[in-house]
Amino acid sequence: LGMLQNTLSAMRDEFAPEETHEVAVPSAPKFEYDVFVSHASDNKQSFVDSLSAGLGRLGIKVWYDSSILDWGDDWKSKIKEGLSKSRFGIVVLSPQFIGREWTTKELTELLNRQNGRHEKVVLPLLYDLTVDDMRAKYPDLAPIQARPIREDEDAKDVVIDFARILIRALKGGG
């Protein structure tokens, strides 16, 4: 994990925008967060808390409601803002995720961004759910490669896989 953390840090430095006095040319959107974690609250303790913590330990900038939302915040506007400011969305699909109003809104927003920009945004993660279940409940996800969580793995395996995707994106490879 230390090597991935160093690689991510070096990549951020290498691809950081330089100050210039030239006329600005429109470019890819800049993001405050590397990833938005969309999930059902029921899955926090069993998986999502460890996923978010592991991403954070690597220096990945995570929008995760438990670490972002404060007492008294307008959570609806904070979620909308987080979605718009995140490069990727890890969507932890589970039986508890299906049919919830806000998980569905988050997924829809991420899919709209992906379809509008024609680049990878949505990263479906299957937690106690099969690919067939995902396709039946969310047909728009059918063409997107999902990542199942095997019984013998934990959040750190997903963290490593996401770090690889982020490194490729920072290099300009999607």
Which positions are catalytic?
A: 106
**Alpha-carbon span 156 to 116, nearest angstrom:** 31
Q: Element (H or E) spanning 82, and its range?
A: helix 75-84
C-alpha distances in angstroms, 36 versus 26, 82, 106, 152?
Answer: 24, 7, 9, 25
Q: Tokens for 130?
A: 């099969």
C-alpha distances in angstroms, 142 versus 38, 113, 131?
Answer: 18, 16, 8
C-alpha distances in angstroms, 94 versus 2, 118, 162?
Answer: 30, 26, 19
